[in-house]
Structure 1
Amino acid sequence: MDSPDRLLRCFLRIAELKSLSRAAEELDQTQSGVSRQLAALEAQLGKPLFVRTGRGVTLTEAGQKLQEAIGGPYRAIDQAVEGIRQAHGTTQGTVRLAIVHTVSYYFIADVVASFVSTHPNVNLSLMGRSSADVVALVEAGKADLGVVYDTAVDTASLTVHPLFEDQMCLVTRQPAAGRPQGEGIDLRGQTLRLVGFPQGYALRRMIESAGLQPTCVTEAETVDAMLKLVSMGVGDCILPCRLPDRLLNDYGLQKVKIAAPLLRRRMVAITHAERHVMPLADTLLACALQVARSLEP
């Protein structure tokens, strides 16, 4: 038999997400299980709490009164529990970090090293995803912290923490013959054959929004796959300038500065605005901010 606490917390999650299916996903339950818990609570109260709509559910008058009555106390309970954990030092647990693929090569390693050095018993789960997927994971509570391009964040449910700016470069196996050092290349009007990320990735949108119209000869979801394809002569690619030279050297590739158009985006950390951030995630965020401050502009 479900406890009253379990039923009420299930109700609050449905009310927050306005969807039984999303609540079930976040609670790691089946939708039928969530529906059963809701039905049990409605049976105890003798009132329907939601009205089903084409896009989800909305609260009834009874549901609104229940949410107003228990929402604040439950938030206070959760914050008190987290406060006690923080005061006594949380040294164990799991932190889930979702990141865009590119930063795993030049930023996240330093963040992880800093965090693990002071929290050796914590399980840090890393999830490499597209920008849209990182945002979705943090929104759904499946990641405690995300690192993503700021252009991917267009929802008020997330809190944005600026990290650093990324400028893009052309990665190619062709020598920049006859081009003065540091001048860079103007890609406007040029015929470009690129190996790129799939549609929906922030870097792909960045290139398209800059007015470039390259031929995307092939798509890849990881940086390593892109570099391998470029090394085979399939095409060039556009990636952050912060990628380590040693990584490109392994593939026989080089960076070429892009003088125009300006391809620059800000990298940010994101947390859920309406959920209390767990102490370990707060510590991981602090490590990310500290490493970001140490990066050269």
Structure 2
Amino acid sequence: MKSAEQAVQVDRGGGEFAFTSDDFRYIADLLYRHSGIVLGPSKESMVYARLSRRLRELGMTRFEDYCYLLESDAGGDEFLAFSNVMTTNLTRFFREQHHFDYLADTVVRTQREASTSRRMRIWSAGCSSGEEPYSIAMTLCDNVPDLERWDAKILATDLDTNMVMRGSDGLYPADVMQDVPDSRRDKYFTPTNEGFKANDRLRQLITFKPLNLLHPWPVKGPFDVIFCRNVMIYFDNPTKTQLVRRFAKLLRPDGWLIVGHSETLLDQQALFKLCGRTIYRKIGD
């Protein structure tokens, strides 16, 4: 599997494991093939720190043995744990507020004026622990007075199954709720001993599912809006191009794709036009 490179003993505050450059390259390649996430050499310390916990739990002393386990017949459960550990989850409620303002002021208004079916489909792709889809749900509830008469649904997906479970539970500690205005928190969440629990009105709008964006998508369109924010920054250009084209196929004509603050679709001008800060609208079919 790897060359006979002398192992480098690494001690980063939690025990020593044999960890070589070949180990890192193998792990980086495995993650890329599985999820499209690109790990450069600067991420070597991060990989060690995150996976050393797994080695301790498994009673292993060498990353080489861990690599063999991941691709063995007995490594299915551990591969899921590996994927979860290696996924970066950074989110908060109403992150990049201008996207939710646009959803309320432009998308919802357009749908109310143009749609007779009162149908709304929104996909939060890379939802992490759920703050984004719950922010979307609160925005809809606040800006569509007759939402109960609409056929409105939010799909929330993420590669990390632990994050999907947390989002589905809808329970957040008090410090996480600091980005939610008190009026919204009191309206849409119930205080508990562990924090704040999203109420049924929000949770009934959202379906949480684990999903690898590189694999087939068992989802049906068309979507009116797709949020895929701060996900593509971890992909290389060919993977980004493929992903954006797949999103375009699932968006309705004139539907919106909303990406992260450091992401652009400038190489996809045949499919999308810029209509706001990192907000793109599909060019009608």
Q: How high is the TM-score relative to the length of structure 1?
A: 0.28
Structure with greater proportional strand content? 1
Rg larger in 1 or in 2? 1
Structure showing greater relative contact order (alpha-carbon pairs closer than 8 Å, 6 or more residues apart): 1
